[in-house]
Homo-oligomer: A and B are copies of this chain.
Amino acid sequence: MSETDPWGVTTLELFELLEETLGGPVEQAVATVVGVDGSAYRRPGAKMILGEDGSTYGGITAGCLEGPLQDVARDVIAAGTPEFVTFDLTDDDDGWGLGLGCEGVVDVLVEPVDERWAEPVEAYHRGESRALVTAIDGTDAVPTGSRTVFTPDGAVTEADGERSLPPEVIAQIDETARKRASEGNWCRRTAATDDGDLELFIDGITPATRLVLFGGQPDVRPVTRLARDVGLHVTVATARGGQADESSFPRADRVVATRPTDLGELVDHRTYVVVMSHNFLDDRLALESLLETSVPFIGLMGPRERFRRLRDDLEAEGVRFSETDFERIAAPVGLHLGGGEPVEIALSIVSEVVAVSNGKSGGRLRNRGGPIHDRPVSQPD
């Protein structure tokens, strides 16, 4: 994807590029939206990477700020110090008026991709979450870009203490930062210092949603591909050793052979699982293994009646399904999109995983909050 569409990269891909970039000379800057007033295309926390060679990766607006941002990025890379910039598009008069994504005020923090990114980037790829707490409007004592990284348990000690936030600032935002490190999402806070107020951006970064696909047949491939395209981290777990071949699933992040009874060992409380081995016995053993874990989503491919038979078999063996189990089991897996092509089935599955991982249920947006014709249809005067 990144080759044909550098603008539309996922956060997972963006963090992969950060990982590749780190360790070498500093030739990239990362721009983060840290505030929006009005209509911006991306929300605070959205990031893009800008190279000193003019390259861009990701996009934080629908094309209206990327040009000016390249100039800022070059300065930041050359100086090695972060900059906070505000773009005011409210009186933009070039025909964008009443546009979408290119009006309003957008605050952006532009930072060099240097060693200070190593810890959060490595944590992201390990599947851990962090909050980056950064001074966006610094003081003499605490310059713009000063940062402390938080885990859900508290501040991470940094090697480069000079550019960290001072202990008295950390004390003021400790609870908020830990909460954002745990839950993701962003906020802005003001901390009092001897030099005056310090404006902080707290950027909760949660790892990509983990999707485990249990199965090894060809229909796993389109699911893998679409899931990766929309930013999920994909593991293919096959019950037959001979199929655990990375070349069969080139888009998967990981391909592992597992016994169905051991599937539960691959998951945690943030893993989404789709059981699609096509083998009834394997699927039953896999489901039994998953029920003993804290996994929040168990999708089962196949008709509703097949799940009844899986359940009957398991209950006959003494397995009990709790209300929580019925909440997390999606049978049949997928949103109701119709269509029988393999890619349409894959789209249905991936859409449901994205919706559920975002706490949504997949219906049409236009049907939320009442009909769009909530006024009487207008009559001729």
Residues on A facing B (Cβ under 8 Å)? 1, 4-5, 7-8, 10-11, 41-43, 46, 59, 62-63, 95-102, 217-219, 221-222, 225-226, 229-231, 250-251, 278-281, 301-302, 304, 306-307, 309, 315, 320-323, 326, 329-344, 346-348, 350-352, 354-355, 357-369, 371-373, 377-378, 380
Contact = CB atoms under 8 A, between A and B. Distances in A.
Contacts of A358: 337-339
A348 B257 CA distance: 33
B377 A341 contact: no
A219 B280 contact: no
B348 A350 contact: no
A280 B97 contact: yes
A336 B321 contact: no
A42 B251 CA distance: 23
Counted per complex, copies of this chain come to: 2
Contact of A98 (B46, B59, B281, B326): B281
Contact of A100 (B302, B321, B342): B302
Contacts of A306: 100
Main secondary structure of the interface of A (DSSP, over half): loop
A180 B352 CA distance: 32
What are the 10 tightest A-B residue pairs by CB atom distance, in nearest-first order?
A: A338-B358, A98-B280, A8-B222, A7-B218, A62-B217, A326-B373, A338-B360, A337-B355, A100-B278, A351-B351
Nearest to A62: B217
Contact of A343 (B95, B231, B309, B380): B231
9 contacts: A10-B341, A95-B281, A96-B279, A100-B301, A229-B229, A323-B377, A335-B335, A335-B365, A337-B355
Contact of A229 (B226, B330, B333, B351): B226
